[in-house]
Structure 1
């Protein structure tokens, strides 16, 4: 598929699903995710200092691009988390179903640089797009920058900020805060609708206004 990436990054190798079961401890529930959701997996591109004119970052040494052909338009995030946990590099996923594509990327946090141990904090993704609309832009001077910009590209509005000095970590924390507040507002609105006592409704409405005001300021 065309991603607008340099030819030198192309890898185009099919990875048999069984590869993920070999030499690693896999639970039956993780194995079931592959059977249920995955038709094929392709390692499409490898973005590294050996394939593009960019230096390695402190945290990001390679970015792999995996295309996953799905059996249905939904994917269980645990499947992506499992793949991310067994591959020590950063991964951009291109999910395909019925000729439509979604880009997914995890905000992967390094917990131990020496041992190259990292975990995905949360995932961001695009909507379903035509193949020609999935363009990967490599922006930055090193692979740390490129990865951060990829996360921002794919997350879109969720991580946009008026503050140009806001780090990716700060943007993600702000996004989490917004999500938590939105959930609290939704729960409170449901409670207000069900509440029969006027004084309790007034109390909860005051709390609701407070939460909405905090949300507007973020």
Structure 2
């Protein structure tokens, strides 16, 4: 996790509250997920719209605009599947600022979004740590256009730096593989602790070392 919040340009302020029901209308939201919307979310605000008309950066079909949504939670957090439902119903890249209802702290959350003709494709979500609402904010990263700005904003959320020449989508794929390996390593460690047979312990240690080496190459 990182701790960078951005100072969104006043020229990009939009400030429109969006009813939760709008996301029911535009997405296949099952009953259990609707209940999460009701239980977890106090308010959703379309806070900023980063576009050529507001920040003087050209968009493309890949990143025509960037939206910033403020999601105010009723309790400690908002579930990832709720954010996914919102994300998939909006045909633009989104950066979320989730405001925690219990103490008004906030964090920025986003997943790399690839636009398509139908439902957008989302990568894993990454986030800043929880920060005070009045925490200092950094200016937007310098960028020549909206796709480059989007890459820079997402890169700031990753737990590791992007490698030379690596796109954010490839970096998020790398982090997803790392997360999978971490789960496999944890499972192997549990098996190793309870395995009574020596020859099987040796096999498990070898598998564990292989996965640990693979994980180290990704980080």
Change (3 A) 1:101 1:126: same
1:86 to 86, 89, 94: 89
For residues 140-170 of structure 1, the C-alpha deviation after alignment (integer angstroms, 9 at most, x for no partner) is 2111111111111122x33x13x31112222
The structure 1 residue matched to 2:106, chosen from 101, 120, 127, is 101
Deviation at 1:77, TM superposition (A): 1.1
Q: In 2, distance between residues paired with 1:44 and 1:18? A: 18
Unmatched tracts of structure 1, length 5 or more? none
- Distance in 1 (alpha carbons) for counterparts of 2:32 and 2:9: 37
Matching residue of 2:78: 75
Whether 1:210 aligns to 2:173 is no
Q: For residue 150 of structure 1, what is the aligned residue in structure 2?
A: 153
The question of 1:177 aligning with 2:177 is answered yes
Aligned counterpart for 2:129 among listed residues 108, 123, 127: 127
Q: How does 1:176-195 map to 2 (within 5 A)?
A: 176-195=176-195
Q: Give the TM-score normalised by the residue count of structure 2.
A: 0.88
* Structure number with higher relative contact order (C-alpha < 8 Å, ≥ 6 residues apart): 2
Q: What displacement does 1:136 show?
A: 6.0
Aligned mates of 2:127, 2:139 — CA distance in 1? 13
Q: 1:22 to 1:201 in 2, by over 3 A?
A: closer
Between the aligned partners of 2:64 and 2:108, the Cα distance in structure 1 is 20
Aligned-residue CA RMSD (Å): 2.0
Q: For 2:27 and 2:183, how far apart are their aligned partners in 1?
A: 37
Deviations 1:147-194 (A, max 9, x none): 111111122x33x13x31112222112112211211111111110100
Matched positions, count: 211
Is 1:5 aligned to residue 8 of structure 2?
yes
* 1:125/1:154 contact within 8 Å kept: yes
Shift of 1:72: 1.5
